[in-house]
Amino acid sequence: MELGGANINGDARLEIQRPPPPASSPMWKTVMVASIAAGIQFGWALQLSLLTPYVQLLGIPHTWAAFIWLCGPVSGMLVQPIVGYYSDRCTSRFGRRRPFIAAGTTLVAIAIILIGFAADIGHMSGDNLSKAVKPRAISVFVVGFWILDVANNMLQGPCRALLADLSGGHQSKTRTANALFSFFMAVGNVLGYAAGSYTHLYKAFPFSRTHACDVYCANLKSCFFISIALLLVLTIVALTTVHEKPFSPEQGNLVEDGVSEPFFGEILGALKDLPKPMRILLLVTCLNWIAWFPFLLFDTDWMGREVFGGKVGEGRMYDLGVRAGALGLMLNSVVLGVTSLVVEFAARGVGGVKVVWGGVNFLLAVCLGLTVLVTKLAESSRRYTSVHGGAPTLEPPSAGIKGAALAVFAVLGIPLSVTYSIPFALASIFSSNAGAGQGLSLGVLNLSIVIPQMIVSVLSGPWDALFGGGNLPAFVVGAIAAAASGVLALTMLPSPSSETVLSKVSRPSSSFH
C-alpha cells in the first residue's frame, strides 16, 4: 500500500532513505495550532444548532433538509484527501501545511458572509417574502454552504497533520495533541452555542436586521460576524508563531525510480492495499459516524419537534425547543472539553485506547436509545391551556422532561470527546509506523467519516418520513451502529503499543524551527 509515497510492503525497487527520527516541538506550539479548532468549531456549532431550522425557514421541508447537509460529506470526500496529498508534498517557502490553513480560513470568511446574507441577497434578486419557499436565498445558501465545507476540510486536515508533524512521531504526544484539538473544539462549541442561544445578539450589530432578515436571521448573521473574527485572530496568531521549514522532495521517505505516483493512483492504491490495523480503524470509524450523524444533524430539531411538540414556523414551541437544544449542545461541549483533557489518562488506566473507544460507543448507543424514552414521556405529558375559552395552547414540557433531554445532551459529550480525538490519533500513529504521509493518511480516514454522512444525509429524511416524519427512526439506527462499533473496537481493533514499527521505512524528518 502506498500512503504519502511510502510502500509498506517493502518493494525491492524502492531506494529507502533513513533520516534521523523526527524531534517533537515544544508543547506551546502544539497548543497554538490546536487552538485554531476553537475558531473552526465556533462556526460548526452555529451550523449544528441553528442552520437546520434556518434552512427550513427559507422553505426547505424537514424531509429534504438532510440533503442540504450532503454538501459536507461530498466535499469532504474529495477535498480532504486531495488537500492532504498535496500538503504532504507542498514546497512553499511558508511550509507544507500553513498555506492550506491560510487559504481555508479565507474561504471560511467568504462562505459565512454568503450564508449570513443569503436572505438579503435572495430578496434583492427577486424572492417574494410572502411565499414560503425562497429559491434564490436557498441557492445562495447552498453555494455558501458548499464553500464553507470545502474550506473547513482545507482547515481541519492540515491542522491535524501539522499537529502530527509537531508530535515528531511520538505516540503519547500524538494522542495528547489530538486531545488538545478536541478540547479547543469544545471551547469553540461552548462559545458558539452560547452565542446561538442569546436572542438579543443582533442588537450589537443593528445593520444585521433587515426587511428580508428577521430577528432569528439577524442573530444568526451576528453570530457569524463573531465567528469570522475569532477564526481570523486564532489562525493569524498560530501561523505567525509556529513556523515550518520549506519542504523539499529529498526529505521524503523514498524515491521510486524517480517517478512520483499521481494523486488518484496513490489514493486508489492506499484504499486497495490498506494494512489490517487501518482497515479495522476505518470500519469502526464508519460505524461510529453512522451513529453520530443523525443526532448531530437533527439534535435541536428533535428538541423542537419531539420534546417540545412544536412545528417549524407555527407558534413558539419549536423556537423554544431549538433554544433549549442550543443549551443542551453547550452542556455537551462543556463535558466534551473536560473529558478531552482526561482521555489520555483514562486510556492508560483502563487498558488502552481501544477499551476507551469501545466503552464510550456503548454509552453512545444507550444515550441514543434514551431519546426514544424521553420522546414518549414528553408526548404522554403534553399540557395545554386555554385563556377565556380560546383555542388550547401547548405549554412547554415539564422540568423533569427538559432535564432528562438536557442530560442526554450532556452525557453525549463523553463519547464525542473520544470520537474527536482517538480515531485521528490512531490514524497518525498507524501511518507513522508505516512511514506514510500524515496528510494523505488523515484524508483516507476522513473517507470513513464522510461516506456514512452521505448515507445518512440521503436516507435519514425519507427514512424518517416513512415512520411519520420524526427523528427517532434515524436515532434508533444510530444506536444500533454505535453498539456494533463498540463491539468491533473491543474485539478487533489493534492496540497501538502492540504495533511493530516498520524499520524498512523511516519516518520523515522534522520540519520545524
435: three-class secondary structure by DSSP: coil
pLDDT at residue 248 in the model: 67
What is the CB neighbour count within 10 angstroms for residue 499? 17
| Integer Cα distance of 171 and 428 in angstroms | 9
Which pLDDT tens digit goes with each residue over 1-16? 333 333 333 333 333 3
Has residue 363 got a pLDDT over 90?
yes
Amino acid at 419: T
Phi, psi of 121 (to 5 degrees): -65, -40
The answer to whether the CB of 306 falls within 8 A of the CB of 473 is: no
pLDDT at residue 469 in the model: 65
Could you tell me the three cell numbers for 451? 461516506
| Integer Cα distance of 458 and 450 in angstroms | 12
pLDDT at residue 361 in the model: 95
Q: Among 236-240, 312-316, 349-353, 506-510, which is the least confidently predicted range?
A: 506-510
Q: What angle do CA 338, 341, 342 make, to 5 degrees?
A: 95
Could you tell me the three cell numbers for 480? 444500533
3-state helix, strand, coil in the chain (%, to 5): 70, 5, 25
Q: Give domain limits for the chain.
A: 24-246+273-383+396-498
Phi, psi of 408 (to 5 degrees): -60, -45
What integer is the mean pLDDT of 409-430? 88
Has residue 237 got a pLDDT over 80?
yes
What is the CB neighbour count within 10 angstroms for residue 377? 16
pLDDT at residue 501 in the model: 32
CA proximity to 510, closest of 7, 25, 52, 141 = 25
The alpha carbon torsion through 440, 446, 447, 448 (nearest 10 deg) reads 130
Phi, psi of 57 (to 5 degrees): -70, -25
| Integer Cα distance of 298 and 472 in angstroms | 10
Has residue 319 got a pLDDT over 60?
yes
Q: Among 214-228, 231-245, 344-358, 472-486, which is the least confidently predicted range?
A: 344-358
CA proximity to 391, closest of 320, 319, 314, 467 = 314
Round the average pLDDT of the chain to a whole number and report it: 78
| Integer Cα distance of 162 and 2 in angstroms | 20
pLDDT at residue 367 in the model: 96
What is the chain's Cα-based Rg?
A: 23
Letter string b/e over residues 335-370, b meaning 16 or more CB atoms within 10 A of that residue's CB: bbbebbeebbebbeeeebbbbbbbbbbbbbbebbbb
Which pLDDT tens digit goes with each residue over 252-268? 443 343 444 555 555 56
Tell me the sheet residues that pair with 351: none
Has residue 231 got a pLDDT over 80?
yes
Helix segments in 434-495, DSSP class H? 438-466, 472-491
CATH of domain 24-246+273-383+396-498: 1.20.1250.20
495 or 368: whose pLDDT is higher? Answer: 368
Q: Report the relative pairing of strands 384-385 and 254-255 from DSSP bridges.
A: unpaired
pLDDT at residue 101 in the model: 93
Which pLDDT tens digit goes with each residue over 150-182? 888 788 888 988 888 888 767 778 888 888 888
pLDDT at residue 5 in the model: 34
The answer to whether the CB of 369 falls within 8 A of the CB of 501 is: no
Provide the whole-model pTM: 0.71
| Integer Cα distance of 248 and 459 in angstroms | 45
The answer to whether the CB of 111 falls within 8 A of the CB of 151 is: yes
439 or 178: whose pLDDT is higher? Answer: 178
58: three-class secondary structure by DSSP: coil
| Integer Cα distance of 8 and 509 in angstroms | 18
Tell me the sheet residues that pair with 385: 393
